[in-house]
Amino acid sequence: MIYCSILGGRANFEVTDVPELIETFQWESHLDELQIDYDDASQNCVALVFKSKLVTNAKGGGVTMTKPCTPARSKSTRGPNPDLDLTGSPLKCSFTLDEDFDDSYEMSGLRGSSQATPIYVPLSTQVARSILSRVTIKTENDGVMKFPCWVFCDGQDDILYLGSQRHRNHVTVHSIRALEQFSSKESGTSKMSQILNQHHMLAPPSLKTPIKSKARAVFKLSEDFPVDAALTGHEASVCAPSSLAIEATWSKPKAILEKPSPDAMVSLRMNLSPGDERMASFGLWNELSALMGFMTGLNNEGITWMARDESVDLEKQIHDLIESVRNSGPGGQQRGKVSAKLESQDQGDDGDPQLDDVLSTVRSDLDFTDQLWMVLMQVQSLAELSAAFTYIFKTIQQEDLRPFMFSNSKSKTSKLICDLSRDAVQVPDMSGRFPLELLVEMGLEKLQRDYLHTLMSGYLATREDLEPFIAIDANVNGEEKLRNLFALHLALELVVLLQTYLSSSHDCLRVLVQKCLHDLKMRPITSVGEEMRYAMNFQLPSHLVKDQLSKLSPNIWHSYFWSEGDILSARSDALLTIDPPQEWMAIKQTKDLNSESREKEDLTYYFTLNTSITRFLETKHH
**pLDDT of the residue at 353:** 38
DSSP designation for 104: B
- For the ranges 147-151, 224-228, 310-314, 413-417, which has the lowest average pLDDT? 224-228
As a whole number of angstroms, the longest Cα–Cα distance in the chain is 102
Domain 282-532 adopts which CATH fold?
A: Methane Monooxygenase Hydroxylase; Chain G, domain 1 (1.20.58)
Three-class SS of residue 576?
A: strand
Condensed to tens digits (0 to 9), the pLDDT of residues 237-259 reads 345 678 899 999 999 999 999 99
Three-state DSSP at 251 gives strand
Instruction: Give the total residue count for the chain.
Output: 622
pLDDT at 145: 58
Name the residue among 491, 537, 573, 582 with its Cα closest to residue 230.
Answer: 537
pLDDT over 50 (residue 346): no
Mean pLDDT, residues 483-498: 92
Q: Is 512 exposed, middle or buried (0-12, 13-18, 19+ CB in 10 A)?
A: buried
List for the chain the helix, strand, coil content (%; round to 5): 35, 20, 45
State the burial class of residue 73 (Cβ atoms within 10 Å of its Cβ: 0-12, 13-18, 19+).
middle
What is the structure's pLDDT at 582? 66
Q: Is 186 left (phi over 0), alpha (psi -120 to 50) or beta?
A: beta
Query: Quick one: pLDDT band at residue 35, thresholds 50, 70, 90?
Result: low
CATH 1.20.58.730 in the chain is located at 282-532
Contact 581, 607 (CB under 8 A): no
**Interatomic CA distance for residues 153 and 18, integer angstroms:** 12
N-term to C-term CA, the chain:
42
Mean pLDDT of 81-101: 37
Q: Are 215 and 232 in contact (CB under 8 A)?
A: no
